[in-house]
Amino acid sequence: MAEVLGRSGVFSLRGHRSVAPSCQKRSPSFLGFPLSSSRPIGPPRSSSRRFVIGTRRGRSIKGNSSSSRVQMSLGVGKSLKWWEKGVQPNMKEIGSAQDLVDSLLNEGDKLVIVDFFSPGCGGCKALHPKICRIAEMNPHVLFLQINYEKHKSMCYSLHVHVLPFFRFYRGAHGRLCSFSCTNATIKKFKDALAKHTTDRCSLGPTKGLEESELVALAANKDLSFNYTRKPVPVLTPDEAAEKVPLSPKLPVSSAPRVIKDSEDKALVAAGT
């Protein structure tokens, strides 16, 4: 028996505890319980399984750190703001004054509707789904959205003081109409859309913003927008004469002739 115990190295013949050379490096333990010696010690084996978010507490999750970050980014997605929901391909948010001017000039004879809104405007939020449906049904119309909170200075230069507010532009005609409407008065918007979406071909270059609006935007120090006023053409004397309207000829009154005739008749009657 002593020989068996001596071989195992658990107890010596003198009764003292000893450690066998093969057991000097003890396997790591988890909560005080030794791991099985048959399981290899080292870094965890790589696994192709994805991380599953929301597993039960206490259950280990297999996978690598990269897949964990991907799953977390997918699980916690960025929520859309109300003005970003339902946006159609023909709807565009304006980023600057130059972007607005270029967007109007680049559309040619196409109808462009500028939509002024604010994130805190309840009427704008209620009207937004209908505007998105109208844009979906009219893919040939361009809708430009301007966030009032981001571009207060630009809206001030464009004389926009009430929301929601809309302006219609088209080709050489420039601004066609401007008005404010709510969810209850959406018919005003539909009537203007039906009136200005008719087939037409405007002669001349695209006008875009009014001259006074462009000058106001350029004068605004908060905006990085430059504009040079168009020079006024100098007319020659002949051209100026053609431009001056001729005053209509006034009819010559026949009252003095009538008076003269009445005087002659009076003299004849008196025998003179």
Residue 231, in any domain of the structure: no
Q: Is the pLDDT of residue 47 over 60?
A: no
CB contact at 8 A, 145 and 92: yes
The residue range of the domain holding 100 is 88-219
pLDDT recorded at residue 50: 45
Look at residues 208, 77, 98 and name the one whose alpha carbon lies nearest to residue 142. 208
pTM, 2 dp: 0.60
What's the pLDDT band for 36 if we cut at 50, 70, 90? very low
Mean pLDDT of all residues in 195-212:
88
Q: Is the pLDDT of residue 22 over 50?
A: no
Instruction: Report the Cα 177 to chain-centroid distance in Å.
Output: 21
Residue 271, in any domain of the structure: no
Distance, in Å, from the CA atom of 60 to the CA atom of 44, rounded to the nearest integer, reads 12
Give the relative orientation of helices 122-137 and 186-196 as an angle to the nearest 10 degrees.
30
Q: Is the pLDDT of residue 153 over 50?
A: yes
Q: Which pair of tokens denotes residue 29?
A: 């333990």
Task: Classify the C-alpha dihedral 79-83-89-93 as positive or negative.
Answer: negative
What's the pLDDT band for 53 if we cut at 50, 70, 90? very low
Q: Which pair of tokens denotes residue 217?
A: 């935007």
pLDDT recorded at residue 146: 98
| Cis check: omega of the bond before 233, within 30 degrees of 0 | no
The total number of structural domains that make up the chain: 1
Residue 164, in any domain of the structure: yes
- The mean pLDDT of the chain is 76
Q: What percent of the chain has pLDDT over 70?
A: 57
Q: Which pair of tokens denotes residue 70?
A: 């991907």
Residue 183, in any domain of the structure: yes
Catalytic residues: 121, 124
Instruction: Give 87 or 257, the one with higher predicted confidence.
Output: 87
DSSP string, 108-126: TTSEEEEEEE-TT-HHHHH
Residue 73, in any domain of the structure: no
What's the pLDDT band for 71 if we cut at 50, 70, 90? low
pLDDT recorded at residue 246: 60
pLDDT recorded at residue 131: 97
Q: What CATH number does the domain containing 93 carry?
A: 3.40.30.10
pLDDT recorded at residue 198: 85
pLDDT recorded at residue 210: 94
Q: Which pair of tokens denotes residue 110?
A: 């196409």
Residue 72, in any domain of the structure: no
pLDDT recorded at residue 11: 45
Residue 200, in any domain of the structure: yes
Question: Which residue has tokens 């006034």?
Answer: 250
